[in-house]
């Protein structure tokens, strides 16, 4: 599903041409106006970034605001555009800007639920979802793309069209050196997310995913790679437990009524 977008630059902002008139009419083609936009219905904060969501009438805009790590914001914007060019659906890029020590990444609301939400609420057959995501990830990796935040919750799914949409793409690597390192990390993160969802039965579902994933790969992965994935998964689990003992990462999330 390849898709290309045209962008124009206005002041400190880069905007999807499809939304230019709308933002002009709303007097939002100004970094400060956009940064200080009020009346949001959703709020999320984690360390140096905040996400606020706004109902603009014609569509819902999600603004991810950075007050540090501006390179991450730039990477996210560029990776969104790259993924669409490569035929891997993700968020619709709407507006982007960097000013001094702040950055904004604006995207259109994605209406499809996450894969983890579908599984936890029994809204889809586990075998069907894992079979489809194994096919998707095999293709993703064989196109030399590596997510680096490859938890199952970051893959939203349109059941009707059997299409995945990728979320949280700031860390994605395209055609890096040491591809095997990034492949192992992706699959270990995915395995850890199965641990979180399925608890004691996760190994059954991991083995099901692993066999399907290898079926769709051109170059099959062997026991050594699976062993390295397991070791990396254990490290992720150990690190996560340490973070939890420290009180977590201070994430704040709420919806306004």
Mean pLDDT of 20-30: 91
CA nearest 15: which of 39, 33, 1, 2? Answer: 33
Sorting pLDDT into bands at 50, 70 and 90, what band is 180?
very high
- Among 80, 108, 136, give the residue marking a domain's end: 108
Cβ neighbours of residue 252 under 8 Å, at least 6 residues apart?
43, 44, 45, 46
Sorting pLDDT into bands at 50, 70 and 90, what band is 246?
confident
Report d(CA 203, CA 33) in Å as an integer. 50
In a domain, 2, yes or no: no
Mean pLDDT of 96-109: 96
**What percent of the chain clears pLDDT 90, i.e. is strictly above it?**
83
- Among 108, 126, 150, give the residue marking a domain's end: 108
pLDDT at 157 over 60: yes
pLDDT digits (tens, 9 = 90+) for 31-57: 999 999 988 999 998 878 899 999 988
Give the DSSP per-residue string, 129-187: HHHHHHHHHHHHHHTTEE-SS--GGGEEEETTTTEEEE---TT-EES-SSHHHHHHHHH
In a domain, 89, yes or no: yes
pLDDT at 245 over 80: no
Pair 90, 84: CB distance under 8 Å: yes
pLDDT value at residue 57: 84
Q: Specify the range with the lowest mean pLDDT, choosing from 107-116, 196-205, 236-245.
A: 236-245
The CATH number linked to 160 is: 1.10.510.10
Total domains, the chain: 2
Residues 177 and 209 in one domain: yes
In a domain, 55, yes or no: yes
């Amino acid at each position: 599903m390849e898709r290309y977008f045209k962008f124009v630059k206005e002041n400190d902002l880069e905007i999807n041409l499809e939304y230019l008139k709308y933002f002009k009419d709303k007097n939002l083609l100004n970094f400060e106006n956009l940064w200080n936009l009020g009346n949001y219905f959703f709020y999320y904060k984690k360390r140096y970034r905040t996400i606020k969501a706004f109902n603009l009438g014609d569509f819902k805009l999600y603004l991810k605001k950075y007050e540090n790590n501006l390179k991450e914001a730039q990477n996210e914007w560029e990776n969104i555009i790259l993924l669409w060019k490569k035929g891997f659906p993700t968020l619709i890029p709407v507006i982007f800007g960097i000013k001094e020590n702040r950055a904004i990444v604006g995207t259109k609301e994605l209406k499809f639920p996450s894969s983890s939400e579908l599984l936890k609420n029994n809204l889809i057959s586990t075998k069907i979802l894992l079979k489809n995501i194994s096919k998707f990830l095999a293709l993703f990796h064989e196109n030399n793309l590596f997510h680096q935040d490859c938890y199952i919750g970051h893959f939203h799914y349109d059941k009707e069209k059997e299409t995945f949409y990728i979320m949280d793409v700031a860390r994605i690597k395209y055609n890096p050196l040491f591809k095997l390192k990034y492949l192992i990390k992706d699959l270990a993160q995915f395995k850890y997310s199965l641990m979180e969802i399925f608890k004691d039965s996760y190994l059954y579902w991991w083995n099901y995913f692993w066999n399907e994933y290898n079926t769709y790969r051109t170059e099959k992965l062997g026991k050594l790679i699976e062993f390295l994935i397991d070791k990396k998964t254990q490290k992720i689990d150990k690190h996560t437990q340490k973070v939890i003992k420290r009180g977590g990462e201070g994430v704040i999330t709420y919806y306004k009524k």
